[in-house]
Structure 1
Amino acid sequence: MQTRCMRNAPNKRGRQVSLRSGAPPTKNVALIQQMKDKIDSKKGREQYSKRSGCVEPVFANIAINKKINYFTLRGKTNVNAQWKMYCLVHNIEKLRNALQ
């Protein structure tokens, strides 16, 4: 699948963002370029490197340890409520662990 998503072969460092060829130039092209510039800056790389330490473990805990891999409800309102419930359970567990 990488060959369909990436223009160049993946290297050890860096990210690629590409648009389908033939796509009409839009406001999104400028926004994508701004995001590339932001991530590639020194400050952007520093902030992005912290992501795996603060955000991704939460999703991994919810998905793997609690085995919550999908939403059982339908509709944006119901899914939002269910997601908030999952996050509430995660935060209560963190509080419990902090008190022990």
Structure 2
Amino acid sequence: MANYKPDYSHQNQFIAVDFSAQILPGTFEFALSHIVDNHLDLTAFDNIYKNDKGGAAAYSPVVMLKIILFAYSRGYISSRRIEQACQINITFMALSGDAQLHFYCQLCRQYE
């Protein structure tokens, strides 16, 4: 009987990923991240969210702006497609700090 090495192609593997190393200088995503982090004043959003004493934590406006602008630059306009990209695309993961966003339907008031 033949002796083959085992096939591990269907086995999950946990790989440590340094998200900061995924955004390379000179790329659009690096420039976008730098501009949003260092040159935009997003403190106006702090006045809107008064959930420090109760309620669920909100996503950072910095993270949301990075994701939305990068998604639109890639032609992703569907919130469901953006959600999927944040789960499987390493660049979206790096920009969002691996925040697991969820599509929320405002019309039906439930997760889809």
TM-score (normalised: structure 1): 0.28
Ranked by relative contact order (alpha carbons within 8 Å, sequence separation 6 or more), the top structure is 2
